Amino acid sequence: MKATRLALLGILCATVAVAVAGCNRKKNKVNLITYDGIEFRTDAQPIDKKVTLADFYVRVEGAAISLDSARKAGRDRAYRYCIENYGTSKIDWVVGPDADPARVPLVDGAVTFRGTCGRP
């Protein structure tokens, strides 16, 4: 009886571990964007979610490899963020993918863009 309980507990723990691993993989895969054969890890977050979700930033890691491709990945992630939160891809950029390279410095191999999602 005790062995049966231990076996069931072991199966339950293994099932939960596999499910959690699958969730993490899915989340990480959503944040990976490939352009020109280069995979970029992206993150889009509101600047202050207590105020509004419309003002956001997008961080693109791996931009040192190809700034042009990183800009495309950042634009793509920003569109996805605004569509998910506001149903539109309209963005008013503060510092966007088309900005002068001097305004988009590389910090630890990453670039960060800022914008505001427009209303549909």
> How many domains is the chain partitioned into structurally?
2
Query: Which domain range does residue 14 map to?
Result: 1-30
Are 18 and 38 contained in the same domain? no
Same domain, yes or no, for 45 and 25? no
Alpha-carbon span 2 to 80, nearest angstrom: 51
C-alpha–C-alpha distance, residues 117 and 120, integer Å: 9
Q: How confident is the model at residue 107 (pLDDT cuts 50, 70, 90)?
A: very high
Query: How far is the C-alpha of 26 from the C-alpha of 23, rounded, in Å?
Result: 5
Query: 1 falls in which pLDDT band (50, 70, 90)?
Result: low
d(CA 113, CA 59): 7
26 and 44: one domain?
Answer: no
Question: pLDDT tens, 3-45?
Answer: 555 444 445 444 444 444 444 444 445 689 998 999 999 999 9
Q: Are residues 20 and 49 in the same domain?
A: no
Pair (15, 38) in one structural domain: no
| Residues 47 and 96 grouped into a single domain | yes
Question: 54 and 40, same structural domain?
Answer: yes
